[in-house]
């Protein structure tokens, strides 16, 4: 089975409990509950702001990685995520 990632923050969507919700309560499998809830994003930010927000979580998951490595990886990965693809925020 292909690994799914939140199309906003890149978090692995490992189980249904982390899927976002739409206004009608239905599940949205593109986003996590932290980024998208009740049919909208939980916070407005640029892609760069999202990367900075996610760095501590990435370092917690992979303590061997440096801040610079984490940032560089996300700067490559995030522009491919649905929320940032093709937007001026991704440039």
User: Given this model, what pLDDT does residue 86 score?
Assistant: 76
Which pair of structure tokens corresponds to residue 79?
């522009």
Can you list the positions of beta strands (E) in 1-91?
19-21, 27-32, 36-37, 40-41
Question: Which pLDDT score is estimated for 88?
Answer: 52
- The CA-based angle 27-28-32, given to 5 degrees, is 105
Averaged in consecutive runs of 10 residues, what is the pLDDT profile of the chain (91 residues)?
A: 90 94 96 97 96 96 96 97 76 40
Residue ranges of the domains in the chain? Answer: 16-90
pLDDT at 75: 97
């Amino acid at each position: 089975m292909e690994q799914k990632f939140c199309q906003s923050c890149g978090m692995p969507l490992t189980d249904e409990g982390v899927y976002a919700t739409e206004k009608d309560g239905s599940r949205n499998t593109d986003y996590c509950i932290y980024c998208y809830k009740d049919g909208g994003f939980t916070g407005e930010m640029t892609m760069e702001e999202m990367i900075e927000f996610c760095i501590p979580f990435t370092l917690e998951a992979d303590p061997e990685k440096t801040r610079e490595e984490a940032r560089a990886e996300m700067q490559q990965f995030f522009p491919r995520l649905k929320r940032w693809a093709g937007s001026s925020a991704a440039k």
